[in-house]
Chains A and B, each alone.
Chain A
């Protein structure tokens, strides 16, 4: 199990399209991926649950990955966060 706190850096926060990208990446792996913000928790494979985290810019999300490919999964997710979900100019 790996767990990490990741920073939401893109301007619009974890909105629909960014969440969709996260789901897309999560679906490539077999590990369980869970996002926690404040008192809310979301499965990284549910776009609705991710939106409900209401993670606007600068919020911090605790991510837990558990499974056979957890290292690769965490790396990909971390990269996505660092690249601001490929959307800022």
Chain B
């Protein structure tokens, strides 16, 4: 009989495959002893393995010395390896109790783990992971099964990986080894791994808590990502049904792939820019060449899941990677947009938990309050932008005054770079996010001070309609086609056209195919969206006649009936 497990979907679609359970968490606590005559060799064996992982860590530190946080992490790891207390205890157990090195290490880990269980400080408690990692490497070496990447030695084709947690590196490995999907018992939808798997179209369900207990190796698995369920050992009927849906999707995707190679011209010959949104620099490797640039690179993730701030050098190398991958196409780097819904590292404090974070210290407001963090980022951007097509995008602007202050800070950054004799670009575009109605209403005036605008529809809708769409009580009132919203979007597009500056929509509306024609009708000629949305949206753009659409758009702007409006939009 089939079993159903619930989880959280990272993307959409259907995935069918055979389960493969991967456990990274096997410390063998089985007792094993040596003879008294073996004490010396066993001690040597232990010390040799310790020395060899030390060597290994030193080598990898050498390799990544440019990535400062990683290098520091390894530096700290080395202290664990050199811990005299740890070494002494293990040697004592070998000498006095005649334990094998393996069992002595496992034993020592067990007692360390016990001490760590009593630690209240959450941050210190988590460091048990470092010790565990070292212990696992040691045990691996002692068992002489070469420590290799876990996913590199097994065949993953048409397999669904079942595991506790997954790293971004694992996601890339699984993708490259043609694994079908991933189910994790922990994790979250906003993790780096989740974002990466979404952009690679690798189906992933996280937080499927009972998955490791219920699923066995080689079980048949259906991941229904649309409904956030996993079906374990489905019956014939279920299997046929989902295979039907899957093949339908395949053929659809296949036909869309052809679309990507075509020039992005509308039916009546107007060039439309189709750009990609980016959250992680790693994603850029997998972007196909069929987009016109990066319309929005959210730099927040550089600051997340860590305890320090990314340095100028680190940021520069990350941005440079993106520029390099995009060749000469424009890359829009948005400065740090924290606060509100985004949790960032502990080092960045947005005050105490704001009572109303959406209206609090976020975006440029934070940057103007924490000038050093902002200036470091700007310096990194200007340096990476040398000989590249750099666009700097400022989030959460509400007034001209903020633009002026921002420019001052950018100038300061340039002066510092000059003083430091560093190469940087002077040719870049400066743009602002239109998220706040106040900003949209002043678009005419603001257009004189910036090189481009980018409309963040999610926030613009939230602030215009005073609707938090995550709040179930009011989410049904969230209406992207509300006349007030549409007229603000139109106003911004018109203002930019009048001043001959670029305007892009980079919010979810840009990647939502039911709104593509509407946006074209409002005069939009530049879209930036999640890479996975590009084929479908592009397909619609190629088949749109802008002149025809424009004639019909006025009726939509005037209609006060949501139902009628949606009908008119679908008939565009």
Interchain CB contact (< 8 A) of A46 among B84, B116, B120, B346: B84
Cβ distance A39 to chain B, nearest Cβ, rounded Å: 11
B124 contacts A54, C-beta separation under 8 Å: yes
Q: Given contacts A23-B79, A52-B115, A56-B121, are A16 and B127 in contact (CB under 8 A)?
A: yes
**Chain A residues proximal to chain B, CB less than 8 Å:** 11-17, 19-20, 23-24, 43, 45-49, 51-52, 54-56, 87, 89
Cβ distance A59 to chain B, nearest Cβ, rounded Å: 9
Cα A34 to Cα B120 in complex, Å, equals 22
User: Can you list 24 A-B pairs with a CB-CB distance of less than 8 A?
Assistant: A12-B307, A12-B346, A13-B124, A14-B124, A15-B307, A16-B127, A20-B76, A23-B79, A43-B85, A45-B85, A47-B80, A48-B83, A48-B131, A51-B124, A51-B127, A52-B112, A54-B118, A54-B120, A55-B124, A56-B123, A56-B124, A87-B308, A89-B347, A89-B372
Residue among A14, A24, A43, A89 with the highest chain B CB neighbour number at 10 A = A89
Cα A16 to Cα B372 in complex, Å, equals 26
By a CB distance below 8 angstroms, the chain A residues around B130 are 16
Is B70 located at the chain interface by the 8 A CB criterion? Answer: no
Cβ distance A22 to chain B, nearest Cβ, rounded Å: 10
The 10 closest A-B pairs by CB, nearest first: A46-B85, A56-B121, A54-B119, A20-B79, A47-B79, A16-B127, A20-B76, A52-B115, A16-B76, A46-B83
By a CB distance below 8 angstroms, the chain A residues around B85 are 43, 45-46, 48-49
Cβ distance A52 to chain B, nearest Cβ, rounded Å: 5
A-B pairs under 8 A by CB, number? 71
Cβ distance A11 to chain B, nearest Cβ, rounded Å: 7
By a CB distance below 8 angstroms, the chain A residues around B80 are 47-48
* Closest A residue by C-beta to B81: A47
Cβ distance A27 to chain B, nearest Cβ, rounded Å: 9
- For chain B, residues 428 to 455, give those with C-beta under 8 angstroms from any C-beta of chain A: none
Is B286 located at the chain interface by the 8 A CB criterion? Answer: no
**Chain B residues proximal to chain A, CB less than 8 Å:** 72, 75-76, 79-80, 83-86, 112, 115-116, 118-121, 123-125, 127, 130-131, 307-309, 346-347, 372
Cα A42 to Cα B115 in complex, Å, equals 13
A48 contacts B112, C-beta separation under 8 Å: yes
By a CB distance below 8 angstroms, the chain B residues around A12 are 123, 307, 346
Interchain CB contact (< 8 A) of A17 among B76, B118, B120: B76
By a CB distance below 8 angstroms, the chain A residues around B76 are 16-17, 20, 47
| Chain B, interface SS category | helix
By a CB distance below 8 angstroms, the chain B residues around A23 are 79
Cα A48 to Cα B116 in complex, Å, equals 10
A11 contacts B346, C-beta separation under 8 Å: yes
Residue among B125, B127, B309 with the highest chain A CB neighbour number at 10 A = B127
By a CB distance below 8 angstroms, the chain B residues around A11 are 346-347
By a CB distance below 8 angstroms, the chain B residues around A51 are 116, 119, 124, 127
Cα A11 to Cα B121 in complex, Å, equals 12
Cα A15 to Cα B84 in complex, Å, equals 18
By a CB distance below 8 angstroms, the chain A residues around B112 are 48, 52
Interchain CB contact (< 8 A) of A15 among B120, B123, B347: B123
By a CB distance below 8 angstroms, the chain A residues around B308 are 87
By a CB distance below 8 angstroms, the chain A residues around B125 are 54
Cβ distance B427 to chain A, nearest Cβ, rounded Å: 32
By a CB distance below 8 angstroms, the chain B residues around A54 are 118-121, 124-125
Cα A53 to Cα B287 in complex, Å, equals 47
Residue among B79, B115, B125 with the highest chain A CB neighbour number at 10 A = B79
B83 contacts A52, C-beta separation under 8 Å: no
Interchain CB contact (< 8 A) of B121 among A13, A43, A48: A13
Cβ distance B555 to chain A, nearest Cβ, rounded Å: 55
B123 contacts A13, C-beta separation under 8 Å: yes
Cα A20 to Cα B76 in complex, Å, equals 6
Cα A49 to Cα B115 in complex, Å, equals 9
* Closest A residue by C-beta to B115: A52
By a CB distance below 8 angstroms, the chain A residues around B75 are 20
Cα A44 to Cα B125 in complex, Å, equals 19
Cα A25 to Cα B115 in complex, Å, equals 25
Cβ distance A56 to chain B, nearest Cβ, rounded Å: 4
B116 contacts A52, C-beta separation under 8 Å: yes
B84 contacts A45, C-beta separation under 8 Å: yes
Cα A43 to Cα B130 in complex, Å, equals 19
By a CB distance below 8 angstroms, the chain A residues around B307 are 12, 15, 17
Given contacts A16-B127, A20-B75, A46-B86, 20 further A-B contacts (CB under 8 A): A11-B346, A13-B124, A16-B124, A17-B76, A19-B79, A23-B79, A24-B79, A47-B79, A47-B80, A48-B131, A51-B119, A51-B124, A52-B116, A52-B119, A54-B118, A54-B120, A54-B121, A55-B121, A56-B120, A89-B372
By a CB distance below 8 angstroms, the chain B residues around A56 are 120-121, 123-124
* Closest A residue by C-beta to B349: A11
By a CB distance below 8 angstroms, the chain B residues around A52 are 112, 115-116, 119
Cα A48 to Cα B135 in complex, Å, equals 13
By a CB distance below 8 angstroms, the chain B residues around A43 are 84-85
* Closest A residue by C-beta to B309: A89
Interchain CB contact (< 8 A) of B127 among A15, A45, A46, A55: A15
By a CB distance below 8 angstroms, the chain A residues around B346 are 11-12
By a CB distance below 8 angstroms, the chain B residues around A13 are 121, 123-124
By a CB distance below 8 angstroms, the chain B residues around A24 are 79
By a CB distance below 8 angstroms, the chain B residues around A20 are 75-76, 79
* Closest B residue by C-beta to A56: B121
